[in-house]
Structure 1
Amino acid sequence: MKAILKENAGPGFIMKEVDKPQKLGPRDVLVKIRRASICGTDVHIYKWDEWSQSRIKPPLIVGHEMAGEVVEVGEAVTQVKVGDLVSAETHIPCEHCYQCKTGRMHVCKNLEILGVDRNGVFTEYAVIPETVLWKFSKEIPLDFASVMEPFGNAIHTALVTDLTGKKVLITGAGPIGLMAIQVAKAAGASLVITSEVDPLRIKMAKENGADIVIDPTKQDLIKSVYTITEDGVDILLEMSGNKKALEDGLKCVTMGGEASLLGIFGGSIDINLDSLVIMRGITVYGITGRRMFDTWKVADELLKSKKVDLSKVVTHVIPFDEWEKGFELMLNKKCGKVVLNLD
């Protein structure tokens, strides 16, 4: 079967023929991958940055966002059957640690990630534990089902608190930030302001329903937000992983407001917690992954009911063999979500 691999330490990937998996564990499922989408994490691995060098052990089949069809199940599998269409929660829990036993599998102490700690889904067939498979509703197109995992990030970040009638600031309009705009609107936010510097993403933020989009390189974000809202926003959704965006975003939050942080900063950052958070009574949520499987149920319902339209986020669907074009689009930031079609 064809697969995209990080074959050796160093930049780049290679597509090559590898052996199709022959043996399944008792609770494993063999999935024929029909769609796979490219994530920022895949780009980090492609570039072979400092994080990738410390985490990835080549050779490794990469990729973790997918939609596919069950073609074989292990002898102890009970949750899916041959023919089911599935997407995958990419955080694979151990199921026995304290976090797993108390409803927090998404932060399992022994967590493994598809396409990072074990072979992933940029291939024709992948072995995935039944524990993390989600049977998505038949009304959801495969292209959108393949991005349910990052869509879940947007949902988890936005809905960790009640957005009904709230003023929301989203810093960063990458694909997950774009999805969060739609989630916030669907959840009843009264005003969604988005901060973004990239011209394409500014355009896409407007297309995805942002009420106001501010380019902080051209306008003072803090002054603009307070001019618009008087008291500041109720909730900050930080999606950029940029220190300046976080700092300014927190300053835009009204006293006693909330901040939900998904962006990854890549190391230590220096901010004044006393003045930005503690003395202003701000509640801060650290977000990772998706709640299993509460977030997935919400994602399924939002897509099935068409309360969220991911055609405004998925900008390219390209043949699997043209995967290099997909990474070029991602590296040059000329796209939203890029989906690889394996059919």
Structure 2
Amino acid sequence: MKAAVLQGTKQMEVLDWQYPIASSQEVIVKVKSCGICGTDQHIYHGHPGSAEVQPPIVLGHELAGEVVEIGSEVSSLQKGDRVSIDPNIYCGTCQYCRSNRVHLCSNLQAVGVTRDGGMGEYCRVPAANCYRIPEEMTFEEAALVEPLGCVLHGIKKIHLSSLSKVLIIGGGFIGQLFLQLVKHQNVASIMVSEPAENKKELLYKLGAEEVVHPMNVSSVEADVVIECVGRPESMELAVKSAVKGGQVLLFGVAAPETTISVSPFDIFSKELTIKGSFINPYTQEEAIALIAKKVVDVQSLISHRFTIEELPEAMGDYPNLRVSKAVINYS
């Protein structure tokens, strides 16, 4: 089979790769669509993903496809089932798994991170990580269930009401998902901080009441601030923009060495709540339902589509392509 294999930092090539063999509780999925996540770019540039990455590896943890082989002990799936994949595999025995915090698992494994993923034509997946999708759902939509699940986990960490003034920092793909979910909560107002002029029209269409350049946000105050960028300046802005009693969700993925300057006195005197959010525990089915019911639109957020042959060049030139969200499609 063909796969785009990460051989090392900034080293990816399309190779004839070993066809996966399913264990008794696994299935083989013929990948139909695979999203390219910002985390894939982090890994490509030598940073860790949700877990440590050991090349050579086939990346791609946002994937969907068709079940073509079934392990001997699998009874929940059949050949031909159309499925979306939750990539995260938990050990079930560490202190975090045993206290219902599986996403913090000490032995976390993940399809497309610690084992081969969706940037190959076929993928080996635990049957328990496969979720059937409705017939009317496209494979592109199904591949983007995973990032929506991550956003769902994040939004559950904050309290929103009809009185909440919300600031979303970053109008890229993740900010666009948050925008739709926040809009669905009937909050008082939604402002998005985004420098790219070409994203404004879509952000307004998705529910933003005001889109401002980051340079003009310094005087903005919000009850809830959702940071979707992962840069020091945007995270510092998130804390500064929160009103007394405000909530700050730091969702953007920063590089491991990134640090920020925050005034502890501001946190103390404003009694801020600052939270992080990591991956997507128990959100896959809800994300599928939200897409199926058209509560959240993911299809129109796709800005680029690549073939597997185009992937190595695209990954190397990603920043210059101005990608908002890209997917790889297979025949």
Structure 2 length-normalised TM: 0.91
CA distance in 2, matches of 1:122, 1:257: 40
CA distance in 2, matches of 1:150, 1:306: 16
Q: What is the one-letter code of the residue matched to 1:174?
A: G
Give yes or no for the alignment of 1:119 onto 2:108.
Answer: no
Equivalence for 1:43: 41
Equivalence for 2:23: 25
CA distance in 1, matches of 2:78, 2:94: 28
Give yes or no for the alignment of 1:11 onto 2:13.
Answer: no
Contact 1:5–1:60, Cα closer than 8 Å, also in 2: yes
What's the secondary structure of 2:246's corresponding residue?
Answer: strand
CA distance in 2, matches of 1:332, 1:275: 40
Equivalence for 2:218: 222
Q: What is the one-letter code of the residue matched to 2:69?
A: E
Contact 1:157–1:237, Cα closer than 8 Å, also in 2: no
Equivalence for 2:66: 69
What's the secondary structure of 1:197's corresponding residue?
Answer: coil
CA distance in 2, matches of 1:172, 1:320: 28
Does the C-alpha gap of structure 1 residues 129 and 202 become closer, same or farther in structure 2, counting only changes over 3 Å?
same
Give yes or no for the alignment of 1:281 onto 2:271.
Answer: yes
Q: What is the one-letter code of the residue matched to 1:135?
A: R
Does the C-alpha gap of structure 1 residues 333 and 174 become closer, same or farther in structure 2, counting only changes over 3 Å?
farther
Q: Please give the per-residue CA displacement for 1:190-218, whole angstroms capped at 9, x wherever unaligned.
A: 2111112233344443343211111123x
Corresponding pairs, count: 328
Contact 2:131–2:285, Cα closer than 8 Å, also in 1: no
Give yes or no for the alignment of 1:244 onto 2:233.
Answer: yes
Q: What does residue range 261-272 of structure 1 map to in structure 2 within 5 Å? A: 261-266=250-255, 267-272=257-262
**Among 192, 198, 208, which residue is 1:200 paired with?**
198
Q: Which structure 1 segments of 5+ residues have no match?
A: 226-231
What's the secondary structure of 1:101's corresponding residue?
Answer: helix
Equivalence for 2:32: 34
Give the drift of 1:164: 3.1
Give the drift of 1:325: 5.9
**Among 113, 126, 129, which residue is 2:126 paired with?**
129
Contact 1:38–1:338, Cα closer than 8 Å, also in 2: yes
Equivalence for 1:229: none
Does the C-alpha gap of structure 1 residues 56 and 326 become closer, same or farther in structure 2, counting only changes over 3 Å?
same
Does the C-alpha gap of structure 1 residues 50 and 278 become closer, same or farther in structure 2, counting only changes over 3 Å?
same
What's the secondary structure of 1:98's corresponding residue?
Answer: coil
Does the C-alpha gap of structure 1 residues 192 and 329 become closer, same or farther in structure 2, counting only changes over 3 Å?
farther
Give the drift of 1:124: 1.0
CA distance in 2, matches of 1:203, 1:129: 41
What's the secondary structure of 2:218's corresponding residue?
Answer: helix
Give the drift of 1:284: 1.8
Equivalence for 1:307: 295
Give the drift of 1:152: 1.6
Does the C-alpha gap of structure 1 residues 328 and 269 become closer, same or farther in structure 2, counting only changes over 3 Å?
closer
Q: Please give the per-residue CA displacement for 1:99-143, whole angstroms capped at 9, x wherever unaligned.
A: 223322222111012222111111111101123222223332211
Q: What is the one-letter code of the residue matched to 2:2?
A: K
CA distance in 2, matches of 1:287, 1:10: 26
Q: Which piece of structure 1 moves more, 266-275 or 180-189?
A: 266-275
CA distance in 1, matches of 2:79, 2:271: 52
Does the C-alpha gap of structure 1 residues 83 and 198 become closer, same or farther in structure 2, counting only changes over 3 Å?
same
What's the secondary structure of 1:222's corresponding residue?
Answer: coil
CA distance in 2, matches of 1:105, 1:281: 29
What is the percent sequence identity of the aligned residues?
29
Q: What is the one-letter code of the residue matched to 1:28?
A: E
CA distance in 2, matches of 1:81, 1:189: 43
**Among 54, 74, 78, which residue is 1:81 paired with?**
78
Give the drift of 1:38: 1.0
Does the C-alpha gap of structure 1 residues 137 and 326 become closer, same or farther in structure 2, counting only changes over 3 Å?
farther
Give the drift of 1:303: 0.7
Q: Please give the per-residue CA displacement for 1:310-330, whole angstroms capped at 9, x wherever unaligned.
A: 133112233333324643663
Structure 1 length-normalised TM: 0.88
Equivalence for 1:234: 223
CA distance in 2, matches of 1:337, 1:326: 12
Equivalence for 2:187: 189
Give the drift of 1:240: 0.9
CA distance in 2, matches of 1:86, 1:186: 26
What's the secondary structure of 2:224's corresponding residue?
Answer: strand
Contact 2:14–2:312, Cα closer than 8 Å, also in 1: no
What's the secondary structure of 1:87's corresponding residue?
Answer: strand
Q: Please give the per-residue CA displacement for 1:255-295, whole angstroms capped at 9, x wherever unaligned.
A: 1121111112222424234233222111122101012x2x2
Contact 2:97–2:105, Cα closer than 8 Å, also in 1: yes
CA distance in 1, matches of 2:312, 2:56: 18
Contact 1:207–1:312, Cα closer than 8 Å, also in 2: no
Q: What is the one-letter code of the residue matched to 1:323?
A: L
What's the secondary structure of 1:321's corresponding residue?
Answer: coil
Does the C-alpha gap of structure 1 residues 43 and 50 become closer, same or farther in structure 2, counting only changes over 3 Å?
closer
Give yes or no for the alignment of 1:342 onto 2:323.
Answer: no
